[in-house]
Amino acid sequence: MYTNKVKRIAAVHDLSGFGRVSLTVVIPILSSMGFQVCPLPTAVLSSHTQYPEFSILDLTDEMPRIIAEWKKLDVQFDAFYTGYLGAPRQVQIVSDFIDDFRQPDSLVVVDPVLGDNGRLYTNLDESMIREMRHLATKADVITPNLTELFYLKSYLRLLSDAGPQVVIITSVPVHEESHKTSVYAYNRVGDRYWKITCPYLPAHYPGTGDTFTSVITGALLQRDSLPIALDRATQFILQGIRATFGYEYDNREGILLEKVLHNLDMPIQRASYELI
């Protein structure tokens, strides 16, 4: 039987030159965790879209050409991890790609990147929301934040029944504790709900969703349990925010990932998950 010497992940995200999101976060994190990352880029941007102006090259037409070459090379993937798409039309391409390349035990993680803080990202519209719902049904694991959950207009159970075995909701405020934020997760296998509460530092950094889901993907691929994966991801985000927050700094550049990447080798220090 064929097995990859190092587990291989197809990473379907954009490449934003400035601002630490998507591939510039996904590749270093998953490489540091010991995986080979093969990017299938969805768009090339000058920066992420939270800057007032940016250039964008949509790669919708290039993606099938890349996939066709990978097919000829008979490349095998252990996981598929999708994030920001350059156009709604890409959902069909990505969906066919996963169907064609997935093996019985491959892991499919869909981060339905649509918006944050109650708003859609610039450049995305209703048609992207509609398409993203479809992609979410392909996944084993989905990781919307609270805003994306609202746009996907469903609840944990409904989303999970539509396909994914695991649904993880990030950026959930904690009732009457404004200095905390939480993550909720549901695993259909075992029918269990998990909650992780973390201290909240009052700053928003683009790319933390990509950081979170990258660590979750790596943790699940290395066979961590779901609550351990959640602990690992929240601990790493917190370390990243702490390494950044003390500086006078333009938050749009994202967390200072380079200062904390080596922490991915460390054991979990804070066990903070609860079964609810």
Using CB under 6 A as the criterion, which residues of the chain lie in contact with ligand PXL when the complex forms? 14, 16, 21-22, 45, 48-50, 84, 113, 121, 206-207, 209-210
Q: Is the C-alpha dihedral spanning 103, 98, 109, 69 positive or negative? A: positive
Q: Measured from the CB of residue 49, what is the shortest distance to ligand PXL in angstroms?
A: 3
- Give the other-Cβ count within 10 Å of 66's Cβ: 16
CB of 182 to ligand PXL, least distance (A): 20
- Name residues whose C-beta falls within 8 Å of residue 202's C-beta, 6 or more positions apart in sequence: none
Looking at beta carbons only, is 21 or 141 nearer to ligand PXL? 21
Cβ partners under 8 Å of residue 203, min gap 6 = 241, 244, 245, 251
- Give CA 122 to chain center in angstroms: 19
Min dist. Cβ of residue 123 to ligand PXL (A): 8
Residue (78 or 132) nearer to ligand PXL, CB: 132
Please report how close the Cβ of residue 101 comes to ligand PXL at its closest, in angstroms: 23
CB of 48 to ligand PXL, least distance (A): 3
Between 18 and 101, name the residue whose CB sits nearer to ligand PXL: 18
The least CB distance from residue 255 to ligand PXL, in Å, is 12
DSSP structure class, residue 145: B
Beta bridge partners of residue 181, listed in sequence order: 173, 198
Give the contacts of 68 (CB within 8 A, at least 6 positions apart). none
CA–CA distance from 220 to each of 69, 81, 207, 211 (Å)?
28, 12, 20, 14
CB-CB neighbours of 175 under 10 Å:
8
Question: CB-wise, 75 or 146, nearer to ligand PXL?
Answer: 146
Nearer to ligand PXL, 22 or 160 (CB): 22
Q: Which is nearer to ligand PXL, 50 or 170 (CB)?
A: 50
